[in-house]
Amino acid sequence: MDKKTTEEKLKELAKEVTDAAEPVIRDIKTKAEPVYDDVMTKAEPVIRKVREKAAPAAEVVKKRSQRATKVAKAVGQDIGILAAKHRCKEEVFVQYNSHELRTTDIIEKAKRDFINRGNSVTDIKEIQVYIKPSENAAYYVVNHSETGRVDF
């Protein structure tokens, strides 16, 4: 019972403070409104000039932000594609007649042939492989100049 009495007393005290403060707050607002209006009236031309002078810079910032957003989106998509490539195991098989060949095996065979012909693995910058099932062979071109043939 003592607790309710304390709560009731606090509520009554809060109401008294609010009631006493209300006229003071109203008085301050009434006195401040003309000052505020006067300040805003005098500040309006200055604010307008600042906005006019800042407009070109704001436009540049807006355009650059839009460009940055586009670049960030593109980079995010590129990273997503790269991540998908690294997560995805890819294998390509060539099937003909009663044979089945894995393309990675043919590429490795072409690289070994190139190295066995006196070249270094570091010499290979790029390699193109052309599979000819009708000849049971694959032809390769290393760095657009060296050619060779491997049988499967």
Quick one: which H or E segment has residue 138? strand 137-142
- pTM of this prediction? 0.44
Q: How much of the chain exceeds pLDDT 70, in percent?
A: 93
Instruction: Answer whether 137's CB lies under 8 Å from 149's CB.
Output: yes
Where residue 150 falls among pLDDT bands split at 50, 70, 90? very high
Query: What ranges do the domains of the chain cover?
Result: 1-89, 93-151
For position 129, what pLDDT does the model report? Answer: 96
Q: Which ranges of 88-136 does DSSP label H, i.e. alpha helix?
A: 103-116
The two three-digit tokens of residue 126, written as one number: 């790029």
For position 130, what pLDDT does the model report? Answer: 95
